[in-house]
Amino acid sequence: MEPDQDPDTDDLPLRANTNHILVRHYVLDLTVHFDRKVIGGNVVLFLEPCSGSGTTAEDHAGAKEGAFQCRPRDVDEQEVSTKGLGETPTGAKKSFSARGRDTPEVRALPGSGSAHTAAESGSSPLSHSWETNSGGEFTLLLDCCDLDVSKVEEVDVTSVSATASLLPHVAPRRSAVPSANPKAAFIQNLISVPSSRWRRQHQLFSLCSRAIGARDGGSLHFHRDRWSLQVRKKGVVSPLDFPRVLRICYETRPTGGSVRWTRDQDNRVCVYTAGSPINNRALFPCQEPPVAMSTWQAAVRAPRECVVLMSGEETTVPVEDGGTRSLIWHYYVTMPMPASTFTLAVGNWHQVTAESPPTLEQGLRDQADCSNVAKLGAGPGELGEADLMSGLGSSISVVKGSPFKTGSSRPAAAFCRPQESPATRKAFIFSEWLEGNLDVAGNPLERFCRDQTTSSDSAFSYSSFGDERLSLTDQSGTVDDGMPCSHGDYPCRFTERAARTQRVIPHRVFGPVCLLQKAQMAVLDLLPRCLAAAYHVLGVHPFPRLDVLIVPAGFCSLGMASPHIIFLSQSVLCAGTIGPGEEGPSLCGSRICHEIAHSWFGLVIGARDWTEEWISEGFATYLEDIIWAQAKQLSSQRTADEFDLKALLRWRRLSDELQNSEEQLQILRPHLEHTGQVGESGSSTIKHALNPDKTFMQVHYLKGYFLLRFLASQVGEKSFVNFIRVFVEKYHGQLILSQEFLQMLLVTFPNMERKGLTLGAIYADWLDRPGIPKWLYERNAVWSEARLVEEVKAEVGKWILLSQSPQGKGRKRKRTEPVVNYKEVTSEQLVMLLELLLEEEELSAATLEALQRTYALQNQDAEVKHRWCELVVKHAYTRAYGDVEHFLVHNQAMGVYLYGELMVQEDPEQQALARRCLSLVQEEIDHSARKVVEEMVL
């Protein structure tokens, strides 16, 4: 067994022994306790031993072409025999039931945790005893930290009613490890159920997860160290004989790194997964290596006034939790994904709605009727198979006092059926009305129902775009609809004919009440355009729906994408002043496009080795420009001009970052030729993942982006984007290394190798070395002379002249403002303008005052405000110190290094400002950011 991470290093260990055994499915039953700042409950793991040591990583990553043929998710289960599986009642509700909390098999967790958690150091006596007394028994290793585990037990699946009758009738799609053990055979068959019967499969997973513990020594031995949970069963020496279903009872800790307990902008308590470097191992014990792709379903109990948002393929209807003041929210996924993509947000979120025309609003208010309550039909521990079989159907009721409020006093129609939902009609008609595209000849509601992929999405917004809009790059149908997928068997949208023509997936936006209006203007209005543009660039949306949440101010970045949900920082909401040629707030639009792009690169296609972050972030940065330009319907010339300006801005940022960072953090493929390799057990490390400086670096975004721009320059932008689309068709649902993408590119465009552009040359210039490639220096000179940049330089010259004039220096009393013909600029041009002015040694207070007034800098987006604050600090412009304080308090993800600039000036007033701002946000700022800021300020 590999030792714990050396505390002197900054690498993150992945301890799970995925080459020995894999978690195929998780069932989580969790309760959120805001009073104690913990999440407690249990997780049930369905395990599959690997056929041989070290042979399954690629297989389970889906890297083998043609490994399995997936089936479209709209294939009905009735096409397959249901004998022995039980019948699903018509109109069954889409939920699965959680284990009763009061059953004796899973007791409430003690507040003090377990004695086993005392051994959190590899040097403790208990740890040494655990290591030396294994007796050759097989050990299951799970990635885990900051969890108090009270019990680990084997689940007796034979106790589930009708289980025995199911065994002969569930035909496995494959059998990696045959077993004579009836329980193991049943679980193997259950794991192998074809994707066309995924609802039955999830019902049975849920039924098994609520079974009692095994009576023949079901309580297993377990041990916790700093980074892992280790489990053994006495006498079991092989993964083949290890229990196939485990239940782990645990609680998180208030200081656990996977979740943030904080308050939202309305000062209401909330908790969310923060995208921590340690991923989800402090939320539930799991296998974190990317190759351990699994599905999951979860029941989350939360206070009645809260909304629970999660990765999940369909909207959920919260059900009442007996006589408590809690509601239970159920979510599930059918696409196997790494456990790190599991996302949770619980808070007093409110749904953002479009402001509809007055007559529509009044009519919808009169029609709203969503007062039915969804209740569990049985008490804890009493749910039978019939109840389970009704657990994943379409839900039609709502919870009394539904928390989906819009800020008005009228009832929210969040969970009505499409044909009955005024909210649906409102969202659909208004989005059409907003676009000027209302089809008065047709029935909007009828079209809405026709485009639905599920019947429980009535709270979603839908938008329709005519064929004349966004059609220039529409390539839907260019790939044969019958083309088999190369990934494992799951219900894949890429094979659905309806999904292949669905430009805009159902979407919702949530946030605190105080930001609803900004979110409506900045996010809800842009989201349909961005989704449609992404479809036209990349093809089928990998996920059937999307929630967007405006997260608390302490969120550590501008955005984070997960399956079915995007977190956005409040920093992107300011619409600002729209410049000439701009069709929406640039920062918000480009950020939305960046996070949407992650659906393809980062989620449905992921990096097999997490150190190759550029595969996710480089692609998303490159594609955000293309998608945003498409969303704005720019001309080809305007698109090229904006691309050049953005490239120059990114070049400046990358150049500055590389001058001020360690060389080892600048390498995009830090494992070099060992990339993708793991230890005998499947364990590995993520280099520099715990380095606090790396958290705020953008080298993987920027250097990866420039690599893609370089490759596009070799084959032509249009051909390159078309290639990316073909690559997505081939590799969706799989994990890749850099070489898969580059090799396919070189095969597709053989002229590249004839010009000397080999795989080795690309590695050497871009991925395996620090610094900046030669091509980038050459292109910088070209971008510096681009048209939009030259316009900025001209404006900068005017400001420098003003600063040098008597009026600009404030030496001459003036009755009128100086007459200067300043040209309107876009937000990106304004960022460039301020950056160039930052290079000036001296700018007078009068010039800064005129600059602020001319461009209404207090109303601009956060990128512009950041540069303005840097100017204020550099030139000690005390009149605008309030702008700096406001920025640091409200844009915490962007202000980290501004604290350093305040301190390095050695100006007592500026240093006092830095300390005051830190004191204002220290309770809500991200922990990693606070650590860096405190080192600079304190």
What residue type is assigned to position 751 of the chain? Answer: N
718: CB partners within 8 A, 6+ apart: none
- Give DSSP secondary structure letters for 143-155: E--SEEEEEEEEB
- Give me the residue label for tokens 């002379």: 785
Helix (H, G, I), strand (E, B) or coil at 175: coil
Strand-pair category, 734-736 with 605-607 = parallel
User: Which two structure tokens, joined as six digits, stand for 920?
Assistant: 């204002």
Q: Is 195 helix (H, G, I), strand (E, B) or coil?
A: helix
Q: Which residue has the tokens 């055979």?
A: 185
Beta-bridged to residue 153, according to DSSP, are 219, 247
Amino acid at residue number 49: P
Structure tokens at 355: 């402001």
Q: Which of 258-279 are b and which e, b meaning 16 or more Cβ less than 10 Å from the residue's Cβ?
A: bbbbbbbbbebbbbbbbbbbbb
Return all residues near 691 (Cβ < 8 A) that are at least 6 apart. 10, 665
Cα gap 692→932, rounded to integer Å = 7
Is residue 595 part of the annotated active site? The answer reads yes
Q: Side-chain half-sphere of 382: how many Cα atoms within 13 Å?
A: 6
Q: How many CB atoms neighbour CB 801 within 10 A?
A: 12
What is the dihedral sign for C-alpha 896, 897, 903, 908?
A: negative
Q: Between β-strands 507-511 and 350-351, what pairing exists: parallel, antiparallel or unpaired?
A: antiparallel
Residue 335: both structure tokens together: 């696409």
Cα(370)–Cα(169) distance, integer angstroms: 41
Query: 3-class secondary structure for 172-195?
Result: CCCCCCCCCCHHHHHHHHHHCCCH
689-694-696-699 Cα dihedral, nearest 10 degrees: -110
Q: Is 25 helix (H, G, I), strand (E, B) or coil?
A: strand
Which contiguous run of DSSP H or E holds residue 804?
helix 787-804
Which residue carries 């007078």 as its tokens?
Answer: 844
- Six token digits for residue 749: 């465009």
User: H helices then E strands: how many in the chain?
Assistant: 30, 23
- The one-letter amino acid code at 673 reads E
First-to-last CA distance in the chain?
Answer: 41
Give yes or no for a contact between 559 and 505, defined as CB atoms under 8 angstroms apart: no
Q: Which helix (H) or strand (E) holds 23?
A: strand 21-33
Pairing of strands 319-320, 350-351: unpaired
- CA 559 to centroid of chain Cα atoms: 8
Strands (E), 338-380: 344-347, 350-351
Q: In whole angstroms, what separates CA 479 from the centre of its chain?
A: 28
Q: Is the dihedral of CA 127, 128, 133, 134 positive or negative?
A: positive
User: Catalytic residue among 153, 154, 595, 835, which?
Assistant: 595
Rounded to whole angstroms, the Cα distance separating 612 from 664 reads 14
Cα distance between residue 206 and residue 28, in whole Å:
10
Pairwise CA distance, residues 697 & 683, whole Å? 26
Q: How far is CA 39 from each of CA 32, 43, 148, 380, rounded to the nearest angstrom? A: 5, 12, 11, 19
Rounded Cα gap, residues 245 and 231, in angstroms: 12
Output the six-digit token pair for 822: 């300043």
Q: Would you name the residues annotated as active-site residues?
A: 595
